[in-house]
A and B are shown apart, each in its own frame.
Chain A
Amino acid sequence: MIEVVISAAVLASMYGLVAIGISFTWASIGMLNLAQGFIFTAGGYAAWVFAEFAISAGISGPLLSVGVLTFGMLGSAVAGLAVGSIAFLPLQDRDNFRTRSLIATLAISLIGTQVWLIFFGPQNKPLPPVFGEGRIEFGNAGISYGQLGTIIVASVMLGLVILWMRSSRRGLQMRAMMMNPLGAAVVGVSVRTTGMRVLAISGALTGLSSVLLAQIFFVSPTSGVQPLTVGLIISLAGGLGSIPGTVIAAGLVGLAEAVTARYLQQSLVPFVLFGIVVLILIFRPRGLGGLLEDVRE
């Protein structure tokens, strides 16, 4: 039972980060960033390149872990900026921006996968364990360092971002954009600069989740697809643009996946997830916390 809860929390924290990135981007600049899978792999590969370099240079221990996490986040943030400069900046003031940017981000993710394939090959790349190896046993259950670290790092990072959003001038600008983009522009918030900042931050969150997920799976050109789809589902169920809603939805989806995989069948997981999201959306079409969209309109 406890193990189910733990694995649910791990899944929730990893997918939740991706979902919050998607949700953030949508709420502030009105762009559905479906290149999030590409951004995800970018972080993974950046971390892998750093790890290769660091291990050959003889760096190990906490320095390696911090470096891997930082480079993962940096790589994804840069990828986020790249996506923004292709799909957001040129299209931002054109008509039909939403559909066109959606297609543009999809095209980027199509190109991105192939670019990784060209540069890194189709092999899976393992990342070094960031949190060390070992388990804490209590009673008849236990939690590995990796799981514990994932939960802690994800929550701390998310908390930091939320704190920064609440208390800083830049965060205020972003919140203003999320509430009313036109109003924010009128009072002097630069839509373009803030939009790029949002993309970088959601990229960094995605990169973090990429490094965390690479603790379990590997980095490969297509490793971004699964997190992207689950992230989409979560951000949809949570209501695009609402952080509390997204966190709750991430918990719910993680729990559903863990419970289904444990007590039913692994093959049923997709259907259970889909069913849950459809149920949520049928009763609340804007998701759990998505009253925002009504306000925007």
Chain B
Amino acid sequence: MSKSTPLVGRRSWRPKWPVNTDRVFKRRRYFGTKRSVLKLQGQFNPKTLRRELVLTDKKPLFWIAALTILLVLPLGVGNQRFLSLFGIICIYAAINVMWTLIIGTAGLQSFATLATVGVGAYGSAYLSITYGLPWPLMLVAGAGFGALMGWIISLPARRLDGLYYALLTLGLSEFMRNFVTQSDALGGKFNGALFGVAQIVPSDLLTTRAGQSLLYLTAFIALLVILIVFRWVNGGRIGLMLKTAATSKEDESFASAIGVDFQKARTHVFIIASAALGFMGAFYATYIGGTSLQIFSLELLLLMLAMIVIGGLGKAEGALIGTVIVVGITQWFTDWGPWRVVLVGVLALLSVLYTRNGIFGLKAQIQEIRERRQALHRAAITGRYAEYLPQQAPDIHDKSLIVGRVFERTLRDRLKSWIDPDIIKEHELKPMGQHSDHLERMLNYFRKAPIPDKYAVYCVEPFASYRVVALSGLPGVPPRIVDDKTYPSLEEAYHAVFLRRVNDLRAS
């Protein structure tokens, strides 16, 4: 969006509407922040001669559209399978969005996501079963467990960088799984399954369509909450601080040099995201009325990773679309068996091998490929625009200049192809008078050459001595003598001038 709009060529569509200039424009802001709701720019429209407002950032529109579809489609269809599919999409999308916050905003390559979710789920489920905790308190407890877990696993993050941390946290889920299997209180006897957790929707309602819709609605609200948290952290001050230390070691040094304590900011983001993950864990437990060991399986972790890789690493919209694709494949086509996970794996592999950043990196990538192709194409067709480069063309007001140059060039090329010993011989024999068509055209071209540096014949002594000169083109400035040859007759001098001009034409 920061690029200036090009004068010609493709322009991206941007919604615009006229402004009532009688009223004072009042900027709307998000509640409690100084951020404006829509990025608007006022400008003057030369066609309508009116002022208008242009929306410079279309993202909010897409978000609203996507979330509306996500809300309306399942509720409208009302099919139970559809509702539960989209419920799972909402939950996984929320988890992935928080994972994106950790990977993208905090820049920590952590695989501890599902471990944190599982801790929230198991912790709150245990409390609910043992002490009869109601669901609102469960969500709070889940967030607490998640924050605690986040604090613990963020300790080594300060010392370890990048991939080392990824390795350390990858094993965490497996460890948690082992722990739960061995522990009696967490249902180790029943292969880690805990059931009988307090649910948001009363269980007698669950069989009805209204109950299912309500259940889906809760999942959608949970996703909304998570998206708001994402926006609040990523778009807020802490996210801005972390953007300075985002990509490389040099950035980190730069960040600390300008006084950004990025380590602290990272830990904060990590703990916030972990609390949100714990919250989602508790929500998941109340959503399905229990937990199971599946949450700690490596396969689920890898599926989640495939979701954010397919969508685009580090972007909330990528996490959302990736989740829709992957969960859609794995939960809808259940009769494909293991092949659907293979399909997801192949998709993830393809997006890693061929795209730079998943689906949402595709636009930039295609743009770049297209620009490279266009540059090659332009280089190939430079001839069409004579000395002008095609990208200069929009800036030249008088287009006849371009046409003129193109005409000159084609004319020169044709004349050049006519130069041969015969035509020179013809001119030598008869410099004046009627000529063949080709020679006549060539001479016409020579005659209309501009005066500066035009060759002329200078008479030193009539009928005895002639020389070739070049005109200066300026009043009062005499022509310069080109060489020291003298010609005894006017015809020979004419021919000498002709030869020079032919040479110049050849060299052009």
List residues of A whose CB falls within 8 A of some B CB. Answer: 32, 34, 37, 86, 90-91, 98-100, 102-104, 106-111, 113-115, 117-118, 222, 225-226, 229-230, 232-233, 235-236, 240, 265-267, 269-271, 273-274, 277-278, 281-282, 285
**CB-CB contacts below 8 Å: B320-367 with A:** 337-339, 341-342, 344-346, 348-349, 352-353
CA distance A32 to B109 in the complex (A): 13
Chain A minimum-CB-distance residue to B341: A114
Q: What interface size band does chain B fall in?
A: 35 or more
In the complex the two chains form, is A90's CB within 8 Å of B353's CB?
yes
Residues on the A chain within 8 Å of B348, using CB: 103, 106-107, 110
Residues on the A chain within 8 Å of B170, using CB: 34, 229, 232
In the complex the two chains form, is A110's CB within 8 Å of B299's CB?
yes
A238 CB, min distance to chain B CBs, angstroms? 12
Chain A minimum-CB-distance residue to B166: A102
Given A108-B345, A111-B345, A236-B182 contact (CB < 8 Å): no
B498 CB, min distance to chain A CBs, angstroms? 60
In the complex the two chains form, is A281's CB within 8 Å of B183's CB?
no
Which of B161, B298, B349 has a CB less than 8 Å from the CB of A104?
A: B349
B368 at the interface (CB under 8 A from A): no
Chain A minimum-CB-distance residue to B181: A267
Given A102-B163, A229-B175, A270-B178, A114-B305 contact (CB < 8 Å): no
Chain B minimum-CB-distance residue to A118: B338
CA distance A239 to B306 in the complex (A): 28
Q: Which of A102, A106, A240 lies at the interface centre, i.e. has the most chain B CB atoms within 10 A of its CB? A: A106
CA distance A6 to B320 in the complex (A): 50
Which of A98, A100, A277 has a CB less than 8 Å from the CB of B352?
A: A100
Given A100-B352, A265-B182, A267-B179, A109-B302 contact (CB < 8 Å): yes
In the complex the two chains form, is A111's CB within 8 Å of B163's CB?
no
Which of B168, B175, B178, B338 has a CB less than 8 Å from the CB of A114?
A: B338
Show 11 A/B contacts (Cβ-Cβ < 8 Å), sorted by A: A103-B352, A108-B345, A109-B302, A114-B338, A114-B345, A118-B337, A232-B171, A233-B168, A270-B175, A270-B179, A281-B156
**CB-CB contacts below 8 Å: B451-485 with A:** none
In the complex the two chains form, is A282's CB within 8 Å of B171's CB?
no
CA distance A90 to B349 in the complex (A): 11
Residues on the A chain within 8 Å of B352, using CB: 91, 100, 103-104, 107
Residues on the A chain within 8 Å of B342, using CB: 111, 114-115, 118
CA distance A269 to B337 in the complex (A): 34
A124 CB, min distance to chain B CBs, angstroms? 16
In the complex the two chains form, is B174's CB within 8 Å of A225's CB?
yes
In the complex the two chains form, is A285's CB within 8 Å of B160's CB?
yes
CA distance A32 to B467 in the complex (A): 82
Given A229-B171, A233-B171, A222-B298 contact (CB < 8 Å): yes
Given A233-B168, A236-B168, A281-B338 contact (CB < 8 Å): no
List residues of B whose CB falls within 8 A of some A CB. Answer: 109, 155-156, 159-164, 166-168, 170-172, 174-176, 178-179, 181-183, 188, 298-299, 302-303, 305-306, 309, 337-339, 341-342, 344-346, 348-349, 352-353
CA distance A226 to B339 in the complex (A): 24
A162 CB, min distance to chain B CBs, angstroms? 23
- Tally of contacts, chain A with chain B, CB under 8 A: 125
In the complex the two chains form, is B183's CB within 8 Å of A267's CB?
yes
Residues on the B chain within 8 Å of A229, using CB: 170-171, 174-175
B146 CB, min distance to chain A CBs, angstroms? 18
Residues on the B chain within 8 Å of A274, using CB: 171-172, 175
Residues on the B chain within 8 Å of A108, using CB: 345, 349
CA distance A273 to B175 in the complex (A): 9
A45 CB, min distance to chain B CBs, angstroms? 15
Which of A98, A233, A267, A285 has a CB less than 8 Å from the CB of B163?
A: A98
Given A104-B352, A229-B171, A277-B168, A282-B176 contact (CB < 8 Å): no
B430 CB, min distance to chain A CBs, angstroms? 68
B411 CB, min distance to chain A CBs, angstroms? 49
B330 CB, min distance to chain A CBs, angstroms? 11
In the complex the two chains form, is A32's CB within 8 Å of B159's CB?
no
Chain B minimum-CB-distance residue to A114: B338
Chain B minimum-CB-distance residue to A229: B171
Residues on the A chain within 8 Å of B339, using CB: 114, 118
In the complex the two chains form, is B164's CB within 8 Å of A285's CB?
yes
Residues on the B chain within 8 Å of A114, using CB: 338-339, 341-342, 345
Which of B159, B174, B306 has a CB less than 8 Å from the CB of A107?
A: B306
Nearest first, the 9 closest Cβ-Cβ pairs linking A and B are A267-B182, A270-B175, A111-B345, A229-B171, A114-B338, A110-B302, A107-B348, A110-B345, A229-B174
In the complex the two chains form, is A104's CB within 8 Å of B163's CB?
no
Residues on the A chain within 8 Å of B309, using CB: 103, 107
